[in-house]
Amino acid sequence: MEGYIWNFNAVLPYKDAIVSGAAVTLQITLLSIVIGTILGLLLCLARMSRNGALSTLALCAGEVFRNLPVLVVLIWAFYALPSFGMRLSAFDAAVAGIALNLAAFSSEIFRAGINSVPKGQREASLALGLSEFQSMREIVLPQALRVIVPPLSGRYIETIKLTSLASVIAVNELVHVGGNIISLTYRPLEAYTAVALVYFVMITPLVFVLRKLEGDKWQTA
């Protein structure tokens, strides 16, 4: 493509569409992170529970959503679920697929974090009369966070990038907007470059915030 003449003026008129695409990307990201993290914690607690059936169920659910490509889950949730009487909007199917993927990965991150806290810490709190729940909230989880935050923030960054897959089921997020602009302007290089720039502008500050968060965790070992 030597000699290609770049012309960003062609895509400039669509900047509002790009901004609204970025907004949808952020919405999917935020919802997926909130839902995926809560589900991941629940999945982890189920996995670690003394109830064998519950633990096995959590193990299986985790394996399924860790091992299936997110793209396949999205497509399946959008096209196949309606035949079971569950009709999700494209947006909801995207959030469901991405959140379940995050839940599966984060549950293992939570489990590793909780297991990294010495058993005596929990035992000391139970001995003082704290309930299992209080002991988890006050003693185990805060210490586990040191081990949890770095890999979890990595998954969060990954989650933003995964939202681009939602374009396949026609959610009007950033990549899909890019595609629309191309079909109107026949300027794929400019359109995708613009899309890439917007991703970069969204993700880079987040990386810095998360890195700061890792550094802030209490320092003493």
CB–CB of 106/155 below 8 Å?
Answer: yes
Indicate the residue among 63 and 214 with the shorter CB distance to other proteins.
214
Q: 29: burial class by Cβ within 10 Å (0-12, 13-18, 19+)? A: buried
Should residue 215 be labelled a site residue for other proteins when binding is judged by CB under 8 A? no
Indicate the residue among 118 and 188 with the shorter CB distance to other proteins.
118
Indicate the residue among 126 and 168 with the shorter CB distance to other proteins.
126
Residue 156 carries which DSSP code? H
- Tell me the DSSP string of 61-127: HHHHHHHS-HHHHHHHHHHTGGGGT----HHHHHHHHHHHHHHHHHHHHHHHHHHTS-HHHHHHHHH
Show contacts with other proteins in window 100-129 (CB under 8 A): 118, 120-121, 123-129
Among 130, 157, 168, 213, contact with other proteins (rule: CB under 8 A): 130
Show contacts with other proteins in window 18-77 (CB under 8 A): none
Among 6, 60, 79, 138, contact with other proteins (rule: CB under 8 A): 138
HSE on the CB side for 208, CA within 13 Å? Answer: 5
Size of the residue set binding other proteins (CB under 8 A)? 19
**In angstroms, what is the minimal distance from the CB of 135 to other proteins?**
9
Indicate the residue among 66 and 146 with the shorter CB distance to other proteins.
146
Element at 44 (helix H, strand E): helix 15-48
**In angstroms, what is the minimal distance from the CB of 162 to other proteins?**
32
Q: Which residues bind other proteins (CB under 8 A)?
A: 118, 120-121, 123-130, 134, 138-139, 142-143, 218, 220-221
